[in-house]
Structure 1
């Protein structure tokens, strides 16, 4: 399971209206990315979905269950890996399942292996590179029982080469586990390479300006980035964000 629905969501902070009549959905096992201008309310959407704040109006459901003012129903990965420095890599990955009351390390060890981190189970975060830390943070999210993962610009701090490696790795892991993913990025190329659909937000107060269904088949390779169709869509989204 993992079908997320937001309908007619509006949110203001004082006199500032951030979101206005936002409606969209994420299907089970789908990869949906939100792009929009800085300050357009992308992170506010995650806070609403996570139950940290409540909308002024509208509904948010996951598999038909109300999410408003309720926590613990999604797995969230922020820009910073947010690993506990005093916990080993294995114990960091286990954290999400521990919170859910599960202590079986078998799945965590399997994920660590699939992340290419075998041999680092007893290492600490300061011993890992930026890309390795991001892998740990993502497999920690995968190891949680929640059916949907919200990723908030997880690769923004990485250099371009490492970032692309991480994108390829994320797709390979996601393909195997098929959890629903809602992804935020400012990087149009990243959005096109990863997603099934892209939602373009308008400037504040944000609404869904456009939905783009990505036509590229999977698996996706680096050659796609230079194709005519890819470049055309990239220009189209760039113009949508500027207009």
Structure 2
């Protein structure tokens, strides 16, 4: 089976007043229906990886393949959910959800309403974003990403701006909704606990120039509940990952 995402030997340097070698021979993959998380120090190149996958600029070397097709420098092959929900305040919730579909020319408002109902937002389809809480807005943004036709979703710290209780609730909600669709996901977070709770695999980045320093298979069955965060295995893995990140920083 062809991986949804395959990155091989990705290298990138930003040229300017201060030349920064960000990525060095980085390789990774995301399989069909897999939830993979990138975890690493601030400034290690996680967002650069997303920008390269999304085609915002081309790598200096290496290949990016989505469903076996080389997409270096090409846009339109991924669905993207940023930290901020980016909802348009002048459009209703339903119209925000179908925005990407409008761009692709294949609007399905029936599917939009069905997903809003599943997300507990059916009563807000005709409302505007300013009446929603932060967590509700992120739900709308995630449904919009799910309804995009692309086979790969990039989630860039989508819960980073939420308070802790809302963040925990959104983790559970996203996993429940994701289980219905099982889109391939590459996820960025700074939280070790979030990475362990959400992921099938965790890829730990070194500091710049970044490459994959470690890969961790997460051993917990799905569906998941926050009770697993109290298990000895969970907390042992959390300590091990913390030490990996700490040692990596001390060695730089």
Candidates 24, 30, 37, aligned match of 2:34: 30
**Cα deviation, residue 67, structure 1:** 1.3
CA distance in 2, matches of 1:104, 1:136: 15
1:153 equivalent to 2:157? Answer: yes
For 1:190, the equivalent position in structure 2 comes to: 194
Asked whether the 8 Å contact 1:48–1:54 carries over to 2, the reply is yes
Asked whether the 8 Å contact 2:39–2:203 carries over to 1, the reply is yes
For 2:44, the equivalent position in structure 1 comes to: 40
1:131 equivalent to 2:135? Answer: yes
Candidates 70, 88, 92, aligned match of 2:74: 70
CA distance in 2, matches of 1:33, 1:13: 24
Residues 118-158 of structure 1 deviation map (CA, whole Å, 9 limit, x = unaligned): 11001111110000000000000001101111000000111
Deviates more, 1:95-104 or 1:175-184: 95-104
Candidates 221, 230, 233, aligned match of 2:225: 221
SS in 1 for 2:140: helix
For 1:141, the equivalent position in structure 2 comes to: 145
Residues 15-74 of structure 1 deviation map (CA, whole Å, 9 limit, x = unaligned): 210001100000011000000000000000000000001100000001111111111010
Asked whether the 8 Å contact 2:3–2:29 carries over to 1, the reply is no
1:54 equivalent to 2:55? Answer: no
Candidates 190, 199, 203, aligned match of 1:199: 203
CA distance in 1, matches of 2:128, 2:105: 23
TM-score, normalisation: structure 2 = 0.95
For 1:235, the equivalent position in structure 2 comes to: 239
**Cα deviation, residue 104, structure 1:** 1.9
CA distance in 1, matches of 2:22, 2:73: 18
Count of residue pairs the alignment pairs up: 243
Question: Gaps spanning 5+ residues in structure 1: where?
Answer: none
Q: CA RMSD in A?
A: 0.9
Residues 75-116 of structure 1 deviation map (CA, whole Å, 9 limit, x = unaligned): 001100000010000000000111111122011111101111
